[in-house]
Amino acid sequence: MKAFRSMFATLALGMCLLCEAASASTATSSPPPVPENGAYLGAWVYYDHNASKQGQVGPAAQLDVLEQDLGRRFDIGHAYYCFDGTNGCNGQLTGNAATNSDQQYGRMPLDSWSCSTTSGYTLGDIISGYQAWKLNPATPSPVIAYIIGQAKSVAAYGTTTYIRWAWEMLNHGANGDCVSSDGGAANYVAAWQAIYNLFHYYQANNAVFVWCPSAGNFNSSDGNPLNSPAAEYYPGNGYVDYVCADGYNDSGQTSTFATKFDNAYKFAMIVNSAGPMPFMVGETGDEAADPNQATWTSSFYADIKAGYPYVKAIVYFDSYNCKTQNDFTLGWPAGQVTVPPSLDAMRTIMKEGYFNPRGLSLFAPASQTMLDTFKPGCSG
232 is catalytic: no
Contact at 8 Å (CB) between 191 and 123?
Answer: yes
The CA distances from residue 76 to 229, 281, 326, in Å, are 28, 12, 23
242 forms beta bridges with 210
Q: DSSP label at 339? A: P
Indicate the SS3 state at residue 313.
Answer: strand
Strands (E), 242-306: 242-246, 279-284
283 is catalytic: yes
Measured distance CA(181)–CA(176) in Å, rounded: 8
Catalytic residue among 36, 283, 287, 352: 283
Contact at 8 Å (CB) between 77 and 108?
Answer: yes
- Residue 18 — φ and ψ, nearest 5°? -65, -40
Catalytic residue among 67, 168, 232, 287: 168
Number of neighbours of residue 71 by Cβ within 10 angstroms = 16
Say how many residues make up the chain: 380
In 3-state terms the chain splits into helix, strand, coil percentages (rounded to 5) of 45, 15, 40
Measured distance CA(243)–CA(236) in Å, rounded: 11
Indicate the SS3 state at residue 38.
Answer: coil
Is the peptide bond prior to 333 cis by the omega test (within 30 degrees of 0)? yes
Longest dimension (CA), the chain: 84
Question: What amino acid is encoded at 241 in this protein?
Answer: D
Nearest CA-CA partner of 230 in 215, 241, 247: 215
Strands (E), the chain: 40-47, 76-81, 108-113, 161-165, 207-211, 242-246, 279-284, 311-320
Contact at 8 Å (CB) between 118 and 87?
Answer: yes
Active site residues: 168, 283
